[in-house]
Amino acid sequence: MTNPSADAGNVSPDNVVAPVAADTVERNRLVINLLLVATFVVILNETFMAVAIPRLMRDLNVTAGAVQWLTTAFLLTVSVVIPVTGFLLQRMNTRPIFVLAMSLFTLGTLIATLASNLGVLILARIIQASGTAIMMPLLMTTVMTLAPPETRGKTMGFISTVISVAPAIGPTISGIILNYLSWRWMFVLVLPISLGALALGARRIQNVTTPHRAPLDAVSVVLSGFAFGGLVYGLSHIGVPATPGMLPTGIWIAVGAVFLGVFIMRQISLQAKGYPLLDLRTFDSRNFTVSVLLMAIMMMALFGTIILLPIYLQNVLALSTLQTGLLLLPGGLLMGLLGPHVGRVYDKVGPIRLMVPGVIVVSSVLWAMTLLSPSTRVGYILAGHVVMSVGFACLFTPLFTVSLSSVKPSLYSHGSAVIGTIQQVAGAAGVALFVALMSARTTTLASQGLAPIDALSGGIRVGFLCGAIISLFAVACVFFVQKPARPPDVSR
């Protein structure tokens, strides 16, 4: 058992006065808990808009294409800001970067509450997204810095809870709000919680990291914006009807890919000088690389499922928005509640005994979903979603823990930023792939004379077939993941 006062904090004596061991443990617990609460609030906000689009179209008198920018602008901002967080987390102390993130999120929430038109609401979502993009890497980096190796799985399990429960209950809560109140209340109710988290964190969070001075490479910032912004924007618009005057989706993806290649080459050159925007030496660890690849595959499957299941439930089985949210709620809650328990098991037995059955369960359910039809019983969908959620719970906590534990501590912030970026791009790719295949197959079946519901059902089956095939690659990858034997040597 490591000495908490020596290892748990990694705190420079210049930043805080080293307390006795018991005080250090209590301080670390407080910092992590505050970050967990704040991150839960900002992630909860991400899925609020999913069920509000029809109401916003009517209340703001805008088209579906225009209101879709509320989601697109949010995703673009997150994908552009996250790569910069690796740099920010190294240059700034814990408290000021927390205050920055929560201030941005709170300001965006306030503007959204007062928004009188779609343009102002989009601006508010962009500001919110800027804070959201900072919070997740901040939480993961802080946990890796403070939690001793023997309990990291359990602590990462709480992060999995935040990541799972917040998106799961977001649509349900917003569905209930919209059933009784106007769309503004989605932000009105979040605002006091956000203000409370900001005030409490600004007063109670202590600095637990040592900042390093390094110049900001403006060229890398621009390159990352075009690279990740282009990829996410292009992927998120596959299968969406083209807007007059807009570049084709393929052009955006190609532009993103080209800029990504240039961005990678620049980071490699800046690594030799000691100040890359996003340090890619995290990929020197084979374990990190395999874990991130597996995470990308699972994120594609998860986000693809998240987008197709509500379409199936509402447009094929004719469930209401609220019924859909309530049906998907148990799985999301179960996945979150299992997080800490999975983490404790990970600390004892390692990743393989959790991840192998987890990935097999997810793959099996995806293959089962290729059999969905207009006559499938709702109870089967509920059972399948719950079982799949258990599988994801067995995967994500070990993946977060293994990936970051496989890099040396000086690269924790960059590893967190890489994981956040991969999540955004893989999620957008999963949604794009599932929806594009669904749309293409639905159109083909409709042209052959099938009824609209039967055609859509057939398209959805093809989308899940894609996910099932992708999951086979995850089954192959999972056997190459290993639990780090010990924390990497800082001096390496």
Residues 157 and 106: beta-carbon distance below 8 Å: no
Q: How many CB atoms lie within 10 A of CB 189?
A: 15
Q: Assess if CATH 1.20.1250.20 describes domain 281-492.
A: yes
Q: Tell me the pTM.
A: 0.76
Q: What is the pLDDT of residue 105?
A: 93
The Cα–Cα gap between 457 and 462 comes to 9
Sign of the CA dihedral with 237 first, then 399, 362, and 476 last: positive
Predicted local confidence at residue 1, as pLDDT: 37
End-to-end CA distance of the chain: 23
Is 3.40.1710.10 the CATH number for 1-211?
no
Rounded Cα gap, residues 308 and 304, in angstroms: 6
Cα–chain-centroid distance for residue 87?
Answer: 19
Report the sign of the C-alpha dihedral through residues 144, 146, 149, 150, in that order.
negative
Q: How far apart (Å, rounded) are the C-alpha atoms in residues 454 and 72?
A: 30
Q: How big is the CA angle at 336 (ends 332 and 338), to the nearest 5 degrees? A: 120
Helix axes 321-349, 286-311, angle to 10 degrees: 160
Interatomic CA distance for residues 246 and 240, integer angstroms:
12
CB 163 within 8 A of CB 396: yes
Per-residue confidence (pLDDT) for residue 400, from 0 to 100 = 85
Rounded distance between C-alpha atoms, residue 131 and residue 105, angstroms:
5
For the record, the structure tokens of 17 come out as 């006065």
pLDDT given for residue 21 in this prediction: 57
Rounded to the nearest 5 degrees, what angle is found at the Cα of 213, between the Cα atoms of 211 and 214? 125
Query: Do the two domains 1-211 and 281-492 of this chain adopt the same fold?
Result: yes
pLDDT given for residue 245 in this prediction: 63
Backbone φ and ψ for 372, nearest 5 degrees, come out as: -60, 145
pLDDT per residue rounded down to tens, the chain (492 residues) = 334 333 333 433 333 334 435 667 777 778 888 888 888 888 887 777 766 777 787 888 887 667 777 877 887 788 788 888 877 877 788 888 889 999 999 999 999 999 988 889 999 999 998 998 888 888 888 887 777 777 777 778 887 778 777 776 777 787 778 878 888 998 998 899 899 989 988 887 777 666 777 777 888 888 988 888 888 778 777 666 666 666 777 888 898 899 999 999 998 988 877 778 888 888 988 999 999 999 888 888 887 887 788 888 888 998 877 788 788 888 888 887 888 888 888 888 888 889 999 999 999 999 999 999 999 999 999 999 999 989 988 988 888 888 888 888 878 888 888 888 888 788 778 877 888 888 888 888 988 888 889 999 999 999 899 889 989 999 998 998 887 765 444 433
- Going from the C-alpha of 218 to that of each of 101, 145, 276, 344, the distances in angstroms are 21, 28, 11, 42
Longest CA span, the chain:
75
Q: Determine the pLDDT at residue 10.
A: 40
For residue 489, the model assigns a pLDDT of 43
Domain locations in the chain as residue ranges: 1-211, 217-276, 281-492
Helix (H), strand (E), coil (C) string for the chain: CCCHHHHCCCCCCCCCCCCCHHHHHHHHHHHHHHHHHHHHHHHHHHCHHHHCHHHHHHHHCCCHHHHCHHHHHHHHHHHHHHHHHHHHHHHCCHHHHHHHHHHHHHHHHHHHHHCCCHHHHHHHHHHHHHHHHHHHHHHHHHHHHHCCHHHHHHHHHHHHHHHHHHHHHHHHHHHHHHHHCCCCHHHHCHHHHHHHHHHHHHHHCCCCCCCCCCCCCHHHHHHHHHHHHHHHHHHHCCCCCCCCCCCCHHHHHHHHHHHHHHHHHHHHHHHCCCCCCCCHHHHHCHHHHHHHHHHHHHHHHHHHHHHHHHHHHHHHCCCCHHHHHHHHHHHHHHHHHHHHHHHHHHHHHCCHHHHHHHHHHHHHHHHHHCCCCCCCCHHHHHHHHHHHHHHHHHHHHHHHHHHHHCCCHHHHHHHHHHHHHHHHHHHHHHHHHHHHHHHHHHHHHHHCCCCHHHHHHHHHHHHHHHHHHHHHHHHHHHHHCCCCCCCCCCCC
User: Cα separation of 388 and 338, whole Å?
Assistant: 13
pLDDT of residue 159: 79
Residue 441 has which token pair? Answer: 């197959």
Rounded to the nearest angstrom, the gap between the alpha carbon of residue 119 and the centroid of all alpha carbons in its chain is: 25
